[in-house]
Amino acid sequence: MPSRPTPSSLFPPPHPSTSPSDSWISAHCDGGARGNPGPSGYGAVIEDPNGQTVARLSEFLGVQTNNYAEYSALLAVLAWAVEHNAGNLRVISDSELMVKQMKGQYKVKNPGLIPLWQEAKRRAARLDSFELRHTLRRGNKEADRLANQAMDKGMGRATS
Contact 150, 42 (CB under 8 A): yes
The per-residue pLDDT for range 90-137, each reduced to its tens digit, is 999 999 999 999 999 999 999 999 999 999 999 999 999 999 999 998
Domains, in order of start, for the chain: 23-154 (3.30.420.10)
Closest of 61, 117, 124, 70 to residue 96, by C-alpha:
70
SS3 52: coil
Contact 43, 147 (CB under 8 A): yes
- Of 129 and 19, more confident: 129
Calculate the dihedral angle through the C-alpha atoms of 98, 104, 106, 109, rounding to the nearest 10 degrees.
80
Q: For residue 6, what pLDDT is reported?
A: 41
Does the structure show a pLDDT above 50 at 13? no
Which residues, other chains included, contact 144 with Cβ-Cβ below 8 Å and sequence gap of 6+? 30, 32, 43, 94, 137
- The DSSP line for 12-38 is PPPPP-SSGGG--EEEEEEEEESSSSE
Give the separation between CA 153 and CA 72, rounded to whole angstroms. Answer: 17
Does the structure show a pLDDT above 70 at 3? no
The per-residue pLDDT for range 40-78, each reduced to its tens digit, is 999 999 999 999 999 999 999 999 999 999 999 999 999
